[in-house]
């Protein structure tokens, strides 16, 4: 489910599944193709900006497929909400960068010497993280069988406090005992803390659906996270500016730059990113015309 309310527009949506891919989707696809060609042609600046270039093209292309599939999309129908999603994605990832200062799970190499250029690159790359996963989820959700509940069920008080309590403890422990072995707690903590709170405020909650036996949406979001994780690592492997990992769990067995067990973290990370997006969006004093994915 993409929208809480129906599309409010004088223009009727295109019939779902018909028509051509929107121009911006073709531009996105051509941008990705050009990025690959220029990278392997040795164009240095493309290697430096390769990750955000590829993800920007990917988001445009997948959103255009969603628009063709459904007749509507967040980018085309609610551009302000899309812009807020992009902006919220930046601090959402900075949250994990903060933990990485202590845990040192990854390090960046090939960064520009110019600090302005470096931070523009950070911001651009971080801005694509949540949108990339969410458009992937939305497209998968439209094709896979079954339906999600119209509204996330309410968690009982005991389960609510158990989940949020676990999430808070999971976020605190790595701050007290920083170690790469504490990494799994980081990729779980924010989900268990923010997601149930979102449900209490009437927003979408993947955990409340999962713990009441409605597994579909969580499994699809896991799949979206895993697909995006594979793409992140694939494109990162060839980039000039990239990240490398130090993971203690079978760290010597890698697919691209990522130790294989690390790919498991992308699945809860997708749910976690959604929980953080919903929580932060509620704090922004701009009325929501749409509840994205909610």
Count of positions (residues) in the chain: 294
Task: Please report where in the chains the tokens 């997006």 appear, as a residue.
Answer: 277
Largest CA distance in the chain: 58
Task: Return the CA Rg of the chain.
Answer: 19
3-state secondary structure of 255: strand
Find all residues with CB under 8 Å of 239, minimum gap 6, and list them.
39, 47, 48, 50, 51, 110
170 pLDDT more than 70: yes
Neighbours of 232 (CB within 10 A): 24
Neighbours of 102 (CB within 10 A): 16
CA dist., res. 51 & res. 124, Å (int):
9
pLDDT for 83-123, tens place per residue? 999 999 999 999 999 999 998 888 998 998 899 999 999 99
Q: Where are the domains of the chain?
A: 23-283
226 pLDDT more than 70: yes
Q: Which two tokens stand for residue 58?
A: 């990917």
Residue 229 CA, distance from chain mean position: 10
pLDDT for 4-38, tens place per residue? 444 444 344 556 665 688 899 999 999 999 999 99
- How far CA 155 is from CA of 32, 171, 195, 213, 282, in Å, comes to 43, 21, 11, 12, 20
**Strand duo 106-109 + 242-245: pairing:** antiparallel
Is residue 134 within 8 A of residue 293, CB to CB? The reply is yes
Find all residues with CB under 8 Å of 151, minimum gap 6, and list them.
none
Is residue 88 within 8 A of residue 133, CB to CB? The reply is no
pLDDT for 249-284, tens place per residue? 665 676 777 777 778 888 999 999 999 999 999 999
Q: What is the pLDDT of residue 127?
A: 97
211 pLDDT more than 50: yes
Question: pTM, whole model, 2 decimals?
Answer: 0.88
Is residue 62 within 8 A of residue 228, CB to CB? The reply is no
CA dist., res. 74 & res. 85, Å (int):
10
Q: What percent of the chain has pLDDT over 90?
A: 60
CA dist., res. 263 & res. 70, Å (int):
30
């Amino acid at each position: 489910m993409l929208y809480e309310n129906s599309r409010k527009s004088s223009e009727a949506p295109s019939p779902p599944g018909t028509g051509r891919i929107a121009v911006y989707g073709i531009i996105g696809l051509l941008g990705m193709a050009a990025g690959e060609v220029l990278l392997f042609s040795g164009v240095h600046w493309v290697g430096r900006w390769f990750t955000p270039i590829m993800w920007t093209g990917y988001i445009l292309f997948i959103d255009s497929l969603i628009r063709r599939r459904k007749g509507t999309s967040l980018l085309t129908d609610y551009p302000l909400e899309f812009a807020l999603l992009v902006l919220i994605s930046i601090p959402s990832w900075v949250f994990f960068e903060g933990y990485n200062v202590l845990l040192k799970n990854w390090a960046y190499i090939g960064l520009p010497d110019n600090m302005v250029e470096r931070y523009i690159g950070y911001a651009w790359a971080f801005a694509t993280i949540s949108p990339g996963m969410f458009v992937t989820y939305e497209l998968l959700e439209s094709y896979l069988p079954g339906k999600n509940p119209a509204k996330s069920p309410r968690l009982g008080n005991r389960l609510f406090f158990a989940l949020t309590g676990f999430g808070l403890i999971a976020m605190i422990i790595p701050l007290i005992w920083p170690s790469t072995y504490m990494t799994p707690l980081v990729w779980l903590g924010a989900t268990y803390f923010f997601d149930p709170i979102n449900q209490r405020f009437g927003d979408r909650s993947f955990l409340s659906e999962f713990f009441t036996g409605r597994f579909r949406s969580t499994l699809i979001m896991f799949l979206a996270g895993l697909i995006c994780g594979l793409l992140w690592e694939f494109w990162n492997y060839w980039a000039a500016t990239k990240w490398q990992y130090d993971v203690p769990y079978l760290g010597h067995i890698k697919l691209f730059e990522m130790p294989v067990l690390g790919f498991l973290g992308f699945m809860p990370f997708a749910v976690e990113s959604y929980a953080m997006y919903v929580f932060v969006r509620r704090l922004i004093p701009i009325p929501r015309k749409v509840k994205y994915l909610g």
